[in-house]
Amino acid sequence: MASIGDRVLDNGLTVLDTEASRLDITSQEATSYAEATSTYTLGNTTSISISAPADRTGGGRKVTLSAISGASVTGTGNAQFYAITDVSNTRLLATGSITTPQQVAAGNTFSLQALDIGIPDPS
């Protein structure tokens, strides 16, 4: 049976822990840095905290994005996705669905619950 060691999985996830500097809520799932931070963004924050890699329930490894509150909404629409980026290197690092999509309006604030981003063990 094939396997991948925790060190290999951790090194992939460590990029999120060490390079991520911004989270955007987006109306569509971004596929590039520009889409995440400009085209689809409805709000963002640079006050993010991502844990070091740890065991993932069901096998594999994960990092956890800490809960966010009071982040700025810059557009009006339905926030359905998140995008995590590395602003210094203009890189899109991760995207995913928001558990509970939110209707947001410019000038308000948004909150997100903590969420896990993981890599499962090979089957």
- The arithmetic mean of pLDDT across residues 8-30, rounded, is 94
Sequence-distant (6+) residues with CB within 8 A of 100 are: none
Which H helix or E strand runs over 75? none
Output the pLDDT for position 43. Answer: 98
Instruction: Yes or no: say if 18 and 48 are a contact pair by the CB < 8 Å rule.
Output: no
pLDDT tens digits, residue range 25-82?
999 999 999 999 999 999 999 999 999 999 999 999 999 999 999 999 999 999 999 9
Using CA atoms, how far residue 99 sits from 80, 117, 120, in Å, is 8, 13, 19
Per-residue pLDDT reduced to its tens digit, 72-122: 999 999 999 999 999 999 999 999 999 999 999 999 999 999 999 999 988
pLDDT above 80 for 1: no
- Those residues with Cβ within 8 angstroms of residue 123's Cβ, 6 or more apart along the chain or in another chain: none
Closest to 118 in 3D by CA, of 37, 26, 36, 16: 16
The more confident residue out of 103 and 6 is: 103
Distance (Å, whole) CA 22 – CA 8 = 25
Q: What is the pLDDT of residue 77?
A: 98
Q: Does the pLDDT of residue 2 top 70, yes or no?
A: no
What's residue 101's pLDDT?
A: 95
For residues 59 and 120, the answer to whether their CB atoms sit within 8 Å is: yes
Residue 119 CA from chain centroid, whole number:
14
Question: What pLDDT band is residue 17 in, cutting at 50, 70 and 90?
Answer: very high
CA distance to 41, 42, 76, 83, 90, per residue, from 110 (Å): 13, 10, 12, 14, 23
